[in-house]
């Protein structure tokens, strides 16, 4: 459904996207995560025909987003990260207006509008002026708007930002419904847990590059490949760090306040070895445990590693 080939976008000298290669299959829900400024919105704007790539190409449903922009617009529904509404329209009129923009016949507009308001749970707000809706309601109305022409692909840029936890859950339910309807959905977020339960595939972006992509399990499994040990000592922090850094099984050591976080490879016998090593050096260990990684740690790790630059190639390589 979506394919990009060495997609690049520069703003002046700054390269926001660097040779992005991305594939999203039809019918999947693709979660796009990454820290601020990673280039998620830029990618989505290019796919939505709003931005011209500096070089490289991109296709949506086998249509080139630059050459066949008109045809692409017909099959996508795009929701920007920030969008305004016309203050003089009611919710229903708002949807009818965009339906008209897509050339939908006059008699169908109202019906489509009502159905969509029903879908996003705004049925009782149909006569409310759009600017008096709450932020979350506007967001839901925005989602309804992306659907007026029944597109095959939805490109949603941080649709859940600014929503309270309950609204997020409701939003997720709506997206699940859309997935059942067979739509391909590309959704961006900074918050991985929000996406984890929803997405079939996740792509992690950082500094204009795709640093990891795969199913949620794959990414988590990969990040866990080296397990992380959390070690707390009462003294001899430097000494402990030095020892850990010299052991061959330890991949990396981070100091976090009073804790040492060590990423190690191998099985549990390695842990035993390291613990006895620390104890034999008379380092007062108070805590020695394997951290259980939740999905947020995975996100932090994947993006932090790529910032370190040291390991991100290996990550990209193994996950691909």
Ligand X SMILES: Nc1ncnc2c1ncn2[C@@H]1O[C@H](COP(=O)(O)OP(=O)(O)OP(=O)(O)O)[C@@H](O)[C@H]1O
Residue 38 contacts ligand X per CB under 6 A: yes
- Binds another protein (CB under 8 A): choice among 101, 108, 181, 234: 101
The Cβ of residue 63 has, within 10 Å, a number of other Cβ atoms equal to: 19
Cβ of 258: how many Cβ atoms within 10 Å?
12
Phi first, then psi, for residue 239 (nearest 5°) are -60, -45
**Residue 42 interacts with Mg ion (CB under 5 A)?**
no
**For ligand X, which is the closer residue by CB, 36 or 246?**
36
Angle between helices 312-319 and 295-308 (to 10 degrees): 130
Gyration radius from the chain CA atoms: 24
| Among positions 16, 112, 186, 319, the unique one binding ligand X when judged by CB under 6 A | 16
Q: Which of 1, 22, 51, 298 binds another protein (CB under 8 A)?
A: 51
Question: What's the rounded Cα separation, in Å, for the pair 18 and 55?
Answer: 10
Q: Give the residue from 108, 105, 110, 163 showing the smallest Cα distance to 138.
A: 163
Q: Which of positions 150-209 make contact with ligand X (CB under 6 A)? A: 190
Token digits for 275?
């613990």
Q: Out of 13, 36, 106, 269, name the contact with ligand X by CB under 6 A.
A: 36
- In the shown chain, the binding pattern of residues 74 to 103 toward ligand X, with x for contact by CB under 6 A and - for none, equals -------x----------------------
What is the chain's percent helix, strand, coil content, to nearest 5?
40, 30, 30
Instruction: Please report the DSSP string for 231-284 in residue order.
Output: EEESS-HHHHHHHHHHSTTEEEEEEETTEEEEEE-S-HHHHHHHHHHHHHTT--
| 41 near Mg ion, judged by CB under 5 A | yes
Residue 61: CB minimum distance to another protein, A: 15
Nearer to another protein, 88 or 265 (CB): 88
Residue 175 and residue 119: Cα distance in Å, rounded?
10
Q: How far apart are CA 131 and CA 84, in angstroms?
A: 9
Under rule CB under 8 A, how many of the chain's residues touch another protein? 29
| Residue selected from 12, 13, 70, 280 as contacting another protein according to rule CB under 8 A | 70
Positions 189 through 218 that interact with another protein (CB under 8 A): none
Site residue total, ligand X (CB under 6 A): 13
Q: Which is nearer to another protein, 6 or 90 (CB)?
A: 90
The item of another protein, Mg ion, ligand X, none sharing an interface with residue 124, based on CB under 5 to 8 Å by kind, is none
Kindly tell me which residue out of 14, 36, 82, 282 binds another protein, with binding defined by CB under 8 A: 82
Are 44 and 155 spatial neighbours (Cβ–Cβ below 8 Å)? yes
Please state the closest distance from residue 192 (CB atom) to Mg ion, in A. Answer: 15
Q: Which x/- pattern, by CB under 8 A, does the window 103-122 give for another protein? A: x-------------------
CB atoms within 10 A of CB 126: 17
Answer whether 190's CB lies under 8 Å from 99's CB.
no
76 near another protein (CB under 8 A): yes
Q: Give whichever of 77 and 208 is closer to another protein, judged by the CB atom.
A: 77
- Binding residues for ligand X (CB under 6 A): 11, 14, 16, 34, 36-42, 81, 190
Contact footprint for Mg ion (CB under 5 A): 41, 81
């Amino acid at each position: 459904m979506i394919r990009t080939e060495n997609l690049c976008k520069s703003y002046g000298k700054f390269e926001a996207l660097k040779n992005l290669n991305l594939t999203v299959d039809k019918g999947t829900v693709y979660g796009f995560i990454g820290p601020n400024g990673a280039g998620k919105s830029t990618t989505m704007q290019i796919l939505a025909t709003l931005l011209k790539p500096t070089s490289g190409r991109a296709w949506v449903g086998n249509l080139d987003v630059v050459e066949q922009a008109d045809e692409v617009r017909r099959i996508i529904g795009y929701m920007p990260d920030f969008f305004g509404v016309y203050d003089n329209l009611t919710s229903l009129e708002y949807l009818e207006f965009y339906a008209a923009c897509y050339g939908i016949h006059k008699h169908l507009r109202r019906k489509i509008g009502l159905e969509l308001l029903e879908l996003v749970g705004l049925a009782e707000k149909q006569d409310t002026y759009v600017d008096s809706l709450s932020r979350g309601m506007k967001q839901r109305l925005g989602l309804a708007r992306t659907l007026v022409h029944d597109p095959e692909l939805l490109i949603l840029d941080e649709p859940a930002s600014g929503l309270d936890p309950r609204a997020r859950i409701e939003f997720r339910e709506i997206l699940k419904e859309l997935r059942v309807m067979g739509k391909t959905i590309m959704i961006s977020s900074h918050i991985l847990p929000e996406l984890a339960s929803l997405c079939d595939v996740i792509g992690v972006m950082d500094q204009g590059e795709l640093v990891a992509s795969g199913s949620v399990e794959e990414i988590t499994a990969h990040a866990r490949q080296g397990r992380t040990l959390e070690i707390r000592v009462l003294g001899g922090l430097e000494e402990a760090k030095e020892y850990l850094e010299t052991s061959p099984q330890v991949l990396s050591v981070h100091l976090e306040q009073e804790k040492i976080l060590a990423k190690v490879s191998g099985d549990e016998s390695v842990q035993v070895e390291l613990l006895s090593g620390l104890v034999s050096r008379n380092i007062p260990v108070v805590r020695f445990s394997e951290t259980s990684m939740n999905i947020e740690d995975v996100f932090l790790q994947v993006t932090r590693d790529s910032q370190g630059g040291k390991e991100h190639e290996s990550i990209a390589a193994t996950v691909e």
